[in-house]
Amino acid sequence: MEIRDRSVMVLGGYGEVGNAVCKQLLLHKPKQLIVTSLREDEVRSAVEGLRKASSGDSCEIIPFYGNLFVRWDLKDMALSEIAAKPEFLRLVVDDNMAELNEDILASSTLYRLITEYRPSVIVDCVTTATGLAYRNVYHQYEELRAAITPDTAPDHHADSVYRVFFTMSIPALIRHTQILQEATKRAQTQLYLKVGTTGTGGMGLNIPFTHGEENPSRLLMTKAAVAGAQTMLLFALSRTPGWPIIKEIKPAALISWKGIGKGKIKKAGQPVKLYDCMPENAHRLVSGTSFRYATDTGAGNPSGETELEGVYVDTGENGVFSLDEFKVITALGLMEFVTPEEIAQTAVLTILGVSTSKDVLGALDGAVMGPSYRGGFLRESVLKRAASLGTGGPSYGLIGPRVSKLILEATLLKLAFHTIEDAIKVPSDVVARTLKEHLAKDRGTRQSALSIGIPILLPDGERLLFAHRKIKDKAWEEEPWIINQDNIERWASREWVDLRAENMSRWQDRFRKILRKINKKNEDTGSRFDLGNGFRSRDGTGKTMIDAGEVAAWVLIHEFGGGRAHAYRETGGFYTNSP
């Protein structure tokens, strides 16, 4: 796509890759460039350099700083500060673990950033896997395990448990992806490009560069796992009809270098303090005793000088290396390295639509095995053979309660009215009453629904048929919940068979749309319109038979937008609620 005169956002624009991407983007003259980083000093430094590099250009360069993985109110706090305050800790955990709602969404820093600036293109150079994996759930687990003793009250460790939840990377990654999806959809972002990571610099589990843990390192493997999980979530997003287009490039080497210098050595933005221990203050290691830090012995205390200084190679997110460390990690046969400029050039070419062969999601798309001709050909055989065995339960609940709900409602309509035309010619309250009367006599369908945890809401909206099951695996079964209209509507739309007149009216609208589709297809006999075989069955009078499975599939595709991209070719590739 075109970059000129577009709004472009670079997440992580201070880092070596992000900064190189910004410089490449400026060559293509975007209208606006939003540059983000974690810290204010970082982003202001980056923006100052970019403005100098683009002096005379009309591009507006906007700085933004803060943590993109937390609420707006917490974006300027360090993770250690958040973890130290129980009220903030619980808020972040709840934001990651609870069901996504409008409050969580609107409070998110990432959501507010994207929806405020509404960029056409987002280039995400934040090393998400590093940030989430290095919260170090293993360390928090060890602390919790050491703190739990038989004589302490269970609630004494509530904060420690929350800290463990706080360091769990997968829930945080999933919530990050959900917010990203919703924000880009609402902002009408056209392209999202992720500069990802392998988690190991392209090396195997024999990677010798760890953080002092066992080898292979659990922490490093967690980073690789999160990186892989993010790729698969982005792969799923790339197959979600609608915008934006999703791309990922994944460097598989050390990314270097950002700068060479001499001066104070910093870790996580803070200078490394100098410590010393004279031989006469050495700590004696007595076998069988516990090791404890003793600050009054003079062992290992801060020295007279203040901070560590030296020559360094700045490698961006990996920090500063000494000359010998850089020699080791970049040696031929070890991690080696790729430059930020190469990555930036690939990123910009990907945005422009040039084939670089470096799009990971495109490679996955070409490598995975999709639906086959043989599978489609044999589907009809499966359906015929299964139908020849007689009737059975309409749904067994293994592909989700919403699917079961739709199949069961369509089954009741089929049993009571047989055809689509007959189901739409009577008022919705009559349909509701007819289904209730049928259900009272149809023990098999009633038991099929209740036995898999799908209750039946009667037409008055005040009475519910349900089973007291031993194994409770549906969300509505998680007691207690308050009986009010909001919760009734929530469950009726997701997990309950809803016999109320308004839902019957909804089904009649669906049937009318299906009939319009059938009539349109009869007018156009080409390949453009295809409803499959599910709506070709006719009764003796030529009316369209209700096929519960095919009708439920149609609803999932056209009403809930749940289909593959090719299901929406008639609407230009985007799903619509008005088929």
The pLDDT score that the predictor gives to residue 281 is: 80
Helix/strand/coil for 461: coil
Q: What is the DSSP letter of 572?
A: T
436 vs 380: CA distance, rounded Å: 33
Tell me the CB-side half-sphere exposure of residue 317, using CA atoms within 13 A: 25
Spell out the CATH class of 7-76+100-134+169-253+339-366. Answer: alpha beta
Nearby residues of 482 by Cβ (< 8 Å), 6 or more positions away: none
DSSP 480-533: ----SHHHHHHHHHHTSEE-SHHHHHHHHHHHHHHHHHHHHHHH--SSS----S
The answer to whether residues 554 and 532 touch, using CB atoms and an 8 Å cutoff, is no
Which of 129, 151, 327 minimizes the C-alpha distance to 232? Answer: 129
Going edge to edge, which strands form the sheet with 259-264? Answer: 259-264, 309-314, 320-321
pLDDT along the chain (579 residues), means of 10: 95 94 95 96 94 85 96 94 91 93 96 97 94 84 76 68 89 96 95 95 85 71 93 94 90 91 86 85 85 62 74 86 92 94 97 94 93 91 89 87 95 95 96 96 93 95 92 85 92 95 97 88 65 69 91 91 78 44
The answer to whether residues 220 and 199 touch, using CB atoms and an 8 Å cutoff, is yes
412 vs 496: CA distance, rounded Å: 13
Map out the domains of the chain as residue ranges. 7-76+100-134+169-253+339-366, 259-338, 395-571
The pLDDT score that the predictor gives to residue 577 is: 37
CB atoms under 10 Å from CB of 445, counted, come to 20
Backbone angles phi, psi at 350, to 5 degrees: -65, -45
Q: Which two tokens stand for residue 143?
A: 């602390």
DSSP 122-168: EEE---HHHHHHTT-HHHHHHHHHHH--TTS-GGGGHHHHHHHHHH-
The pLDDT score that the predictor gives to residue 290 is: 83
Q: Which two tokens stand for residue 89?
A: 């800790």
In order of 138, 210, 413, the CA distances from 218 in angstroms are 8, 9, 54
Predicted TM-score (pTM) of the model is 0.86
Q: What is the DSSP letter of 75?
A: T
Query: Residue 96 burial (CB < 10 Å; 0-12/13-18/19+)?
Result: buried
Sequence letter at residue 346: T
Q: Which two tokens stand for residue 49?
A: 């350099």
242 vs 227: CA distance, rounded Å: 24
